[in-house]
Chains A and B, each alone.
Chain A
């Protein structure tokens, strides 16, 4: 197959919190994302789903400019990412940092404010107070002084969430916040995401568990290197799209369930 140049991609809507056109990323010549066009609905709670190696994490990283693009454009409310850094918050996968690092939970949450403090600015008592409020929102105010390595996995995930809350962004990008957390933490995180959505923010979450997508989210983007489908969970998780994304290995028994749930 030969890719044709794409002369008529739809124009970017400046009201869309996140728009990408023709987003293409390769690692060592292997395409990871291919010609992706996507507009995130404003105030959506959006799941990014797809099989392993489908480019879900890469999609978030490419959006943030953390991986080099082979081609394509990324716009946040119609503007380049570089100008909109203070409107985006990113929650990386928990394994991406060293939890033995000498920092307290409060230190980590305060990092979310560094962008606003800017180069050379000091972290003051006011910033610490803001950070503590965010820790309180995720129920960890009592753990503010604890070294992060001595928190449980779920608590660490909530520290990351509090850090993103501290960034006070319009668009939240989260890479598998539910991975490896217990059921109580999962509910607490979900409640926070719903709060964010109610406050008019857009939340985009890479999610691994197809069974809970329809329950937790209202929109979905299905990836497998290319965009396979998007829209409301009902539209995006149709049996047809899932079969395209996951192939025959997806237990067929699952499909009707998912489709019905959607």
Chain B
């Protein structure tokens, strides 16, 4: 059995950080999935790397504000480039995106290797699959720390950044829910009614990048995509209401974050093996598994329910013919 102190030092901050990372991305992801722009999340999670590295290069420190600014600039540059290539090259958006995010990611990798790469806090490994295990609450010293201001002040930086960004994203979605719904469903009508769709889209790109950069440190560039897509896609399989979908996705995201971490940290221990697995990877595995279950077993939209409905109607048709 692990001690309370170890739990608060190692496991609790990593669990909460993982859950918040999944939550921040999933909230935004709902709208990406519905606009069939899920891969914008993919692109953004890659392009924030050069932004972060350049910000680190310029300021010499790892801290939330410059990293966020660097990543946002990179995201806007990427969005502009994608749009320009799409228009000028008459290219499908997928290809334009692929060109931009691979080149920018490559740039980030080379910069990382050439500059701050030797710094322990920022290296290619973490860029690829995060460093959830390195999220420690040094000041924790028993349950009392949860209400002790001086201990709370030492909460890990990533966790605090993520909490702030998640709260901002949540607030934006509540405030602009109506506008998001309209622009997502019918951008032409939105523009005609005086809600310019391209401004909302741009804001969406910025928020996506913010979620990606906040989650980046915890789970790395690639697994962020699972957080953007899997919880909303799971919810999408289960409901026909947008509000329900957003709430469900939040629930699934938090659940995947908590469960994924637990499986990674203790899963092998249950089989008597003394080792742990990559936590960020496990969170994504749990999120994707949830989606597979929903795709199969959703009561109305699941594959099995659909097959059964088709068979039933075929049976009825046969019965009618025979009657």
Binding site for B on A (CB under 8 A): 28, 61, 64-66, 85, 88, 90, 92, 96-98, 101-104, 107-108, 111, 114-115, 117, 119-123, 147, 149, 163, 167
Within 8 A of A (CB), among B218-253: 236, 239-242, 244-245
The answer to whether A66 touches B185 (Cβ under 8 A) is: no
Contacts of A104 in B (CB 8 A): 240-241
Chain A CB count within 10 A is highest, among B34, B90, B189, B191, for B189
Q: Is the interface of B mostly helix, strand, loop or mixed?
A: helix
Indicate whether A92 sits within 8 Å of B175 (C-beta atoms), given known contacts A102-B34, A107-B181, A147-B240: no
Contacts of A96 in B (CB 8 A): 186, 188
Q: Is B307 interfacial (CB 8 A cutoff)? A: no
Contacts of B323 in A (CB 8 A): none
Indicate whether A85 sits within 8 Å of B178 (C-beta atoms), given known contacts A97-B186, A98-B185: no
The answer to whether A102 touches B239 (Cβ under 8 A) is: yes
The answer to whether B241 touches A111 (Cβ under 8 A) is: no
- With CB as the reference atom, state the residue of chain B lying closest to A111: B182
Indicate whether A111 sits within 8 Å of B242 (C-beta atoms), given known contacts A103-B181, A119-B195: no
The answer to whether A115 touches B194 (Cβ under 8 A) is: yes
Q: Is B120 interfacial (CB 8 A cutoff)? A: no
How far, in whole Å, are A253 and B245 apart by their CA atoms in the complex? 56
User: Top 9 A-B pairs ranked by shortest CB distance?
Assistant: A115-B193, A147-B240, A102-B242, A85-B194, A64-B192, A90-B192, A102-B240, A97-B186, A101-B185
Q: Is B141 interfacial (CB 8 A cutoff)? A: no
The answer to whether B192 touches A85 (Cβ under 8 A) is: yes
Q: Is B271 interfacial (CB 8 A cutoff)? A: no
Contacts of B236 in A (CB 8 A): 102
CB distance from B251 to the nearest CB of A (A): 16
Q: How many A-B residue pairs have CB under 8 A?
A: 75
| A-B contact sample (18 more), CB < 8 A, given A114-B179, A119-B195 | A28-B90, A64-B188, A66-B188, A85-B194, A90-B188, A90-B189, A92-B188, A96-B188, A98-B34, A102-B240, A102-B244, A103-B181, A103-B185, A104-B240, A114-B193, A115-B194, A120-B175, A120-B176
CB distance from B187 to the nearest CB of A (A): 9
Q: Is B208 interfacial (CB 8 A cutoff)? A: no
The answer to whether B191 touches A66 (Cβ under 8 A) is: yes
Binding site for A on B (CB under 8 A): 34, 36, 90, 175-176, 178-179, 181-182, 184-186, 188-195, 236, 239-242, 244-245
Contacts of A101 in B (CB 8 A): 34, 184-185, 242
CB distance from A186 to the nearest CB of B (A): 23
Contacts of A61 in B (CB 8 A): 188
Chain A CB count within 10 A is highest, among B36, B191, B240, for B240
CB distance from A24 to the nearest CB of B (A): 20
- With CB as the reference atom, state the residue of chain A lying closest to B246: A102
Indicate whether A122 sits within 8 Å of B185 (C-beta atoms), given known contacts A102-B240, A102-B245: no
- With CB as the reference atom, state the residue of chain A lying closest to B175: A120
- With CB as the reference atom, state the residue of chain B lying closest to A121: B178
How far, in whole Å, are A123 and B240 apart by their CA atoms in the complex? 19
Contacts of B192 in A (CB 8 A): 64-66, 85, 88, 90
Contacts of A90 in B (CB 8 A): 188-189, 192
Chain B CB count within 10 A is highest, among A102, A114, A149, for A102
How far, in whole Å, are A107 and B181 apart by their CA atoms in the complex? 10
CB distance from B274 to the nearest CB of A (A): 46
CB distance from B130 to the nearest CB of A (A): 31
The answer to whether B185 touches A97 (Cβ under 8 A) is: yes
CB distance from B90 to the nearest CB of A (A): 8
CB distance from A30 to the nearest CB of B (A): 13
